[in-house]
Structure 1
Amino acid sequence: MEFRDLKAQYNKYKTEIDSAIQEVLSNTNFIGGKEVDTLERRLAEYVGVKNCITCANGTEAMTLVMMAWDIKEGDAVFVPDFTFFSTGEVVSFRGATPVFVDVDKDTFNIDTVKLEEAINEVLEEGKLAPKVIIPVDLFGLPADYIEIERIAKKYNLKILEDGAQGFGGSINGKKACGFGDAATTSFFPAKPLGCYGDGGAIFTNDENLANLLKSYKIHGKGDNKYDNVRIGVNSRLDSIQAAVLNIKLTAFTNHELEDVNRAYKLYTERLKGIVQTPIIPEGYVSSFAQYTIKLENKEIRDNLQARLKENSIPSMIYYVKPMHKQEAFSYLENKDCDFEITNKLCETVLSLPMHPYLSEQDIINISKVIIDFLN
């Protein structure tokens, strides 16, 4: 059994994927070209924004936005404590200060009450200038953008949606990667929409920002790549990855998002009341990058993971260590008591196999092992 079965997906679309890759090989247009242009247009249309700018990976997508917004030393950027390292890393990479915020116990996304408290604490201290909020659409569920946008407007902050795990999710019909001033996603192979290497994208309705990003991602180019008007980076999505993504985007929109939510419902029907299953607020749709359950304590969680392994069932722990405890951020003055929910989640969460090609029998078998273990 696979945790996220990329082999099943490839076997289903092997003819289309192989043909798309072969066309790039035959045309020998490996950087840029029609595959990238087509993908950017389709992604923008799907999300419902004016501009999509592809790049080398999801981390650089966020970094490019930080560059374009001139985030620098002395700036404060607010980041959830329960997420992957890169969300805070891109802030420190620019010399700014990540301010970690505890998360909601049910959705695992940034706690908006604690977010506003953190902003006010930074303002009262007076050492840093609050500039950006980076909410994360954790495990495929969009953050509470209705409240986050209210807070951002109140304090004149920008919002960068980290949709690395959230592509395909929505709130009242509005798609993830369409919130805030800009949004980013990742095409890492295990993501809801993944390529066969690294890749990322930025979404925005801001034409000026889009033009700036197009310059920054290709060495700060001006009218052409030999006219360099600013210091940039080299961060491009290659044509083979774009070709693969064009096939996968069709599959994602045709059935994969629906199928992964079918798997969510099947899991939840069997496990509800046995463990704490994912909570999806009314009006929200998750793209289920992960199906994550909560156990009572670390000992039960770890023993369950061992039992699943004995039955050849893979599982993962996202995340074993909070952001505020990462050694790379040890220079920050964080109080462990400010992150009660995150600390608890790191000891109790467990992610089960989850993907559009998961069979009902697989879900029955996985659930049985969990139920038998806990009873």
Structure 2
Amino acid sequence: MKVPMLDLSEQYQELRSEVLEVLDGVMSSSRFILGDNVKKLEQDVAKYSNVAHGIGCGNGSDAIHIALQALEVGPGDEVITTPFTFFATGGAIVRAGAKPVYVDIDPVTFNIDPDKIEAAITENTKAIIPVHLYGQMADMERIAEIAKKHNLAIVEDAAQAIGAKHNGKSVGELGSAATYSFFPTKNLGAYGDAGMIVTNNDDVAEKSKVIRVHGSKPKYYHSVLGYNSRLDEMQAAILNVKFPHLDRWSELRRQKAETYTHLLKEMVGDAVVTPIEKEGNYHVFHQYTIRVEKRDELQKYLQEQGVSTMIYYPLPLHIQPVFKDLGYKEGDLPISEKAANEALSLPMFPELKTEQQEYVVAKIAEFYGK
């Protein structure tokens, strides 16, 4: 059996006629940038996130950078974040002219550990970027308390977590801003690059809208140095077709996660550490990520058996070569480093079949001699 990490073909066939219809509508309108489809998506995603504003932009990486710039984070400032994340989180901080300060993670959720944040705060700290990794929100109540106490901004990196909740609060409700990625592999994915900032802060929203169009307001008059990061109409139209299905897809992901956990506990036992949904959280399982010993050997074996898996992420940001000037060394953030050696994400998408999951788990059990 072949089990892909992700298969978008069944989803496309289900939505094909609708997608082609809206794309034809965009072509016929001859309005390709920041039109009615973008406005509708911005309004719908903002409402879904329980905030006032949505600002579409070119991708999730730009969304973080624009949000930081709108919050006036720049040279001389420090931004506290997690090293166990995709490069865009740290990259956006540096592109904004600030310095990333990495603190270790909670070994259960893989998210930033609130207990370690305050010790990293200095007179130069301007913001915190918690990452809601794999689809589970970080402890935003604790992080918001720390931010308020020290007068810090919060930019939630929710690239993998649209629809997730923490004690009933949505992404974006407790931060200064939150950012989404609509990369094709995401829970709500475009057919190309796309992203969005959501915020309750009127000033951040207005500044973000200006920054995404070269810092121009009015047109051809530039008061700030912005850049070109606009969400185009075709991607927005596709996302508008997909958006009404998001909650159903999230529930299907949660069902697949429950199936994996049941099968792994039954067939593999303590050779695998399964993901945990923390009390009060609503996990949308962008990824189903296990922790195992002999991770690389297991991945190789599964590949030979036709099972695709991914490692998110093999090298934490604090020891990435590009950040060597920050002065971190191996051993500084041991929980993140251990996770990077043990984490393995299994195939996960709403259309994943039970027999495929059974096959995946059977092969894991086979590898560990269970």
SS of the residue 1:330 aligns to: helix
Question: CA-to-partner distance for each residue in 1:318-351, whole Å, 9 max, x for gaps?
Answer: 1110111111100012243331101101111100
1:291 counterpart residue number: 288
Tell me whether 49-58 or 8-17 shows the greater mean CA deviation: 8-17
Which amino acid is 2:291 matched to?
K
- Match for residue 162 of structure 1 among 157, 180, 198: 157
2:208 counterpart residue number: 213
Question: CA-to-partner distance for each residue in 1:94-152, whole Å, 9 max, x for gaps?
Answer: 22110011101000000111112212xx35xxxxx110000000011101101101111
CA distance in 1, matches of 2:29, 2:97: 42
Report how far residue 81 of structure 1 moved: 1.2
Do the aligned partners of 1:31 and 1:237 also contact (CA within 8 Å) in 2? Answer: yes
SS of the residue 2:286 aligns to: coil
Do the aligned partners of 2:153 and 2:175 also contact (CA within 8 Å) in 1? Answer: yes
Aligned length: 363
1:270 counterpart residue number: 263
Superposed, which structure 2 residues align to 1:36-185 within 5 Å? 36-119=38-121, 122-123=122-123, 129-185=124-180
- 1:305 and 2:305 are equivalent in the alignment: no
1:202 counterpart residue number: 197
Q: Which aligned segments of 4 or more residues in structure 1 are displaced greater than 6 angstroms?
A: none
Aligned residues: CA RMSD? 1.2
1:231 counterpart residue number: 225
Report how far residue 176 of structure 1 moved: 2.0
Tell me whether 93-102 or 175-184 shows the greater mean CA deviation: 175-184
Which amino acid is 2:321 matched to?
E
SS of the residue 1:294 aligns to: strand
Structure 2: segments with no counterpart, 5+ residues? none
Do the aligned partners of 1:51 and 1:205 also contact (CA within 8 Å) in 2? Answer: yes
CA distance in 2, matches of 1:106, 1:230: 42
CA distance in 2, matches of 1:203, 1:18: 28
1:334 counterpart residue number: 328
SS of the residue 1:358 aligns to: coil
Do the aligned partners of 1:178 and 1:203 also contact (CA within 8 Å) in 2? Answer: no
Question: CA-to-partner distance for each residue in 1:165-201, whole Å, 9 max, x for gaps?
Answer: 1111111222223330111010111111110000100
- Match for residue 250 of structure 1 among 232, 244, 253: 244
Aligned-residue identity in percent: 42
CA distance in 2, matches of 1:39, 1:95: 30
Structure 1: segments with no counterpart, 5+ residues? 124-128
CA distance in 2, matches of 1:72, 1:171: 29
Question: CA-to-partner distance for each residue in 1:21-51, whole Å, 9 max, x for gaps?
Answer: 1111121211121111111111111111000
SS of the residue 2:56 aligns to: strand
- 1:189 and 2:184 are equivalent in the alignment: yes
CA distance in 2, matches of 1:156, 1:67: 17
CA distance in 2, matches of 1:25, 1:318: 37
1:126 counterpart residue number: none
CA distance in 1, matches of 2:200, 2:97: 27
Report how far residue 230 of structure 1 moved: 2.5
Which amino acid is 1:259 matched to?
L
Question: CA-to-partner distance for each residue in 1:200-225, whole Å, 9 max, x for gaps?
Answer: 000111112111111111121223x2
Do the aligned partners of 1:177 and 1:185 also contact (CA within 8 Å) in 2? Answer: no
- Match for residue 19 of structure 1 among 15, 18, 21: 21
